[in-house]
Structure 1
Amino acid sequence: MSLRHAILTLLETEPASGYDIIRHFKQSLGYFWNAKHQQVYQELRRLSDEGWLLCSEQAQSDKPDRKVYSISPSGRAELRRWLAEPAPPNKINDALLVKLYAGALAEPDNLRAELARHRATHRATLDSLQEIERQYLALEPQEQARQRLPYLTLRRGILGEQAWLAWAEEVEAELAARAGQPHAEPVGK
């Protein structure tokens, strides 16, 4: 998936400024797609140049005018074209997995500390996703039905974080055994 299609997807639902789009990435799409501030603004410029976005300016009292983007008919056509294409399987590059693969060369305590840092991050992400899920489950049934597909992307994130934390328990047990120390209690339990 390209950043441009993620932006077109967000703008399909409602017009937004660059700031709004970045906020959506952090709140809505951040558990499966990330983009840096600068990347979003560069891509907005490209999409506008290609005619896939429309831009209007809103005056602000003590700030520069706010640019609000919306998807153009040709942008909507591009989004539909992209949606019809098969998506390639996701591939990962994970430095922690490389370190574990070469773990026989490392100190078990160093690997345990690294794993603990990652576990804390994944636990925090899971907590955040579960809070979004609670908000979804509190919606009226009609709104839940309208938001069902975005909710299913959220469920993928939740299940992925739960699986990662379960896997980390297996790794922790092995690292504890290698260090000759008892297995530590899982983070967040």
Structure 2
Amino acid sequence: MSLRHAILTLLETEPASGYDIVRHFKESLGYFWNAKHQQVYQELRRLSDEGWLQCSEQAQSDKPDKKVYSISPAGRDELRRWLAEPAAPNKINDALLVKLFAGALVEPDNLRAEMARHRATHQGTLDSLLDIERQYLALEPQEQRRQRLPYLTLRRGILGERAWLAWAEEVDAELAARTDQTSAQSVEQ
């Protein structure tokens, strides 16, 4: 997936300013697709140059005019073309997994501290996702049906975070056993 298709997907729902798009990345899409502020604005310019977006300016009283982007018919065609293509499976590049793989080369307590930092991040993400789920569950049934596919992307995130935290418990148990073993060996010497 590319950033351009994520932006087109957002704009298919409703017109938005660059600021609004960046906010969407932080609040919703950011759980499964990250983009920096500068990347979004560069891509908006490219999409406009390619004719996939239309841009209008809205006057603001105390700020410069705001550019509001909407998807053009050509952009909608491109989004449909992309949606029809098969998606490639994700590849994982996870430095933590490399560190665990090489864990015999480092003290278990170092890895335990690393795991604790990652656990806090994953727990925070899970808490945020559960807050979003509560908002979805409070919607009227008709709105829930309309938002079902976005909700299922949320469920994937929730299940993924819960699975990560369950896996982390297994890792922590192994690292605790290794710490105990290392301490016992130190006493024997």
TM-score normalised to structure 1 length: 0.95
Partner of 1:186: none
CA distance in 2, matches of 1:69, 1:106: 51
Partner of 1:179: 179
Amino acid at match of 2:51: G
Partner of 2:63: 63
Runs of 4+ in 1 over 6 A off after TM superposition: none
CA distance in 2, matches of 1:70, 1:167: 42
Structure 2 matches for 1:19-38, cutoff 5 A?
19-38=19-38
Alpha-carbon distance, 1:102 to partner:
0.4
Alpha-carbon distance, 1:26 to partner:
1.0
Alpha-carbon distance, 1:64 to partner:
1.1
Partner of 1:169: 169
Amino acid at match of 1:141: P
Amino acid at match of 1:168: A
Amino acid at match of 2:72: S
Does 1:77 find its partner at 2:73? Answer: no
Sequence identity percentage:
90
1:65-98 CA distance string (max 9 Å, x none)? 1000000000000000000000000011100000
Alpha-carbon distance, 1:48 to partner:
0.2
1:29-76 CA distance string (max 9 Å, x none)? 111111000000000000000000000001111211100000000000
More helix by share: 2
Alpha-carbon distance, 1:27 to partner:
1.1
CA distance in 2, matches of 1:67, 1:50: 17
CA distance in 1, matches of 2:103, 2:63: 53
Alpha-carbon distance, 1:107 to partner:
1.1
1:94-136 CA distance string (max 9 Å, x none)? 0000000000001111100000000000000000000000000
Partner of 2:106: 106
Structure 2 matches for 1:125-136, cutoff 5 A?
125-136=125-136
- Flag structure 2 segments of 5+ consecutive residues without an equivalent: 182-189
CA distance in 2, matches of 1:61, 1:94: 47
CA distance in 2, matches of 1:29, 1:156: 13
Q: Give the length in aligned residue pairs.
A: 181
Partner of 1:184: none
TM-score normalised to structure 2 length: 0.95
Q: Secondary structure at the match of 1:180?
A: helix
Amino acid at match of 1:118: H
CA distance in 2, matches of 1:177, 1:38: 46
Tell me which moved more, 60-69 or 140-149: 60-69
Does 1:51 find its partner at 2:51? Answer: yes
Structure 2 matches for 1:86-125, cutoff 5 A?
86-125=86-125
CA distance in 1, matches of 2:149, 2:54: 26
Alpha-carbon distance, 1:165 to partner:
0.1
CA distance in 2, matches of 1:180, 1:142: 55
CA distance in 2, matches of 1:107, 1:180: 11
